[in-house]
Structure 1
């Protein structure tokens, strides 16, 4: 228990070491003194996690971060894990509380994060997942999320970025463009960044952290991966080529750029809200806003050019 109490000092105030200990004991039918080797795993952008052992096995306990209850629907996350269980591409879930967001999953010994130079493997797994066309009952509506995060930021008096209103007006137009494009909605991960791909000791590739997942246009996953990794325009084009296995059409690229713009805007708002809760993500919010600025302009220029050519 002492190890849990020590760990509790680094976790959100909502996380009680006594409550965590009780959950572990209940799940594994063990006593507190059987919980050992408690150590921090990572402090994520949305959650905090730690590793612990019961007997000879090791597990990961996820604790939602500050303000997460306003961002994540844990019932929907649970539904996603149920929908993808048979694919065996996610972490193995042993306990999930839809109310608190607490989650226990199996820890993969000697696993490694996927290196950025192996992005082809990530895109191959993503494409294979998309090909299953899995359905769930909820959507990830990026425009609804933008409006919601904007409200959260305004309610918490969190800062905005220089030129915010100009970019916001362009983002509205980009969303109008997307609403008129042809889309097939399937289950998407929405946060398929390089850090969420894990290579197990057996060489299997896993995709972790499905809390934002929902029904959406699959191209949003390509865009999300690109902006987290800081890709340039040529890098985004190369990423899309790796995903498709060939050079994508101009139509696909423009839609991907549109999602880059909206996603960058979304995560800049997300950062504003989280930093208003006391977190610090450095330049991440500004970098995401730059994507919104640059690619909203690029998409609108394309739309104007296409409109003029049709006249």
Structure 2
């Protein structure tokens, strides 16, 4: 019988080839001589390319890792960390993982929707649910394989950018000075580390009307939990009132000035990191027109916290 495949017109020939190559490495597919019947693009993802693929009438999420990502991402650590999160019901079940390149096949969460900015910004219930998910894995007691040290990450990105003689945004010297000032403050006031996702953008959240899942754990590692909270606050474009509501839901109580200050500090660090990341994408061959404005927006938002004094206030609160 002829095997017909329905392929989304947005899927390139290159990615079709990559998808079939990845599926050919999955033992259970090879053993059954499994057949692909449909491929479609999944939303979200700046680093990688994601697809919904139907194999023998079962749907899977296939991630084709972005070119060059194995140069700066710890793929073996991601495999370890993501499996822990699958085991406790936070991540989708993992079927296959390529430890070198980072290609991945997961069970697709049936009847789910991918969340977007308006879902969090306009629906307080999603903020409550996300706060509970964060608390669940931040306090799970598990140990991730790697540490996501924001300062080492920034140094690593900047080292590559210097080697490639990449242009930087105006004001980048002041940004780096503030990063180093925060580093010194954390050395004086060490923060407890916990398993963290480190990139919980809105499109990494899936809702199947029963559970809220958080997927794509490639930047995961032990980190201070407030980095995750700050990342979602930024990605969901929450107002000051909403971020305080979110923090209260996360802690389960009223928040202190120091707790709110930690959010401000981590908002700055998060935007600083992704500023450097955006320039790195350009340096490794991705579109300047796409990534330069993205990084500029990150840079401007981080520096606004410097200009309005809220970052200095937060650092002073940490140092009390």
TM-score, length of structure 2 as denominator length: 0.85
**How far 1:99 moved relative to its partner?**
1.3
Deviation at 1:53, TM superposition (A): 1.6
The residue aligned with 2:48 is 47
Paired residue for 1:204? 211
- Is 1:151 matched with 2:159? yes
Alignment: residue pair count? 304
Contact 1:174 1:299 in 2 (8 A): no
In structure 1, what is the equivalent of residue 184 of structure 2? Answer: 176
Aligned equivalents of 2:315, 2:41: Cα separation in 1:
48
**1:61–1:103 CA contact under 8 A, matched in 2:** yes
Query: Structure 1 residues 88 and 287 mapped into 2: Cα distance closer, same or farther (>3 Å)?
Result: same
- C-alpha distance in structure 2 between counterparts of 1:41 and 1:180, whole Å: 44
Are the aligned partners of 1:122 and 1:194 in contact in 2 as well (CA < 8 Å)?
no
User: SS in structure 1 opposite 2:165?
Assistant: coil
Flag structure 1 segments of 5+ consecutive residues without an equivalent: none
1:61 paired residue number = 62
Maintained 8 Å contact 1:4/1:21: no
Distance 1:301 1:122, change over 3 A: closer
Tell me how far 1:31 sits from its aligned partner. Answer: 3.4
Cα separation, 2, equivalents of 1:286 and 1:126:
28
- In structure 1, what is the Cα distance between the partners aligned to 2:21 and 2:316? 57
1:76-225 paired onto structure 2 within 5 Å: 76-114=77-115, 115-116=119-120, 117=123, 118-200=126-208, 202-225=209-232
**Post-superposition offset of 1:46:** 1.2
The root-mean-square deviation of aligned C-alpha atoms, in Å, is: 2.7
Corresponding residue of 1:299:
311
Secondary structure of 1:283's match?
helix
TM-score by length of 1: 0.87
**Structure 2 unaligned blocks of 5 or more:** none
**What is the alpha-carbon distance in structure 1 between the residues aligned to residue 292 and residue 161 of structure 2?**
17
Inter-partner Cα distance in structure 2 for 1:305 and 1:97: 44
How many angstroms does 1:241 deviate by?
1.9
Q: Pick from 15, 19, 22 the counterpart of residue 11 of structure 1.
A: 15
Q: Alpha-carbon deviation of 1:234?
A: 4.0
Residues in 2 aligned to 1:235 and 1:73: alpha-carbon distance in whole angstroms: 34
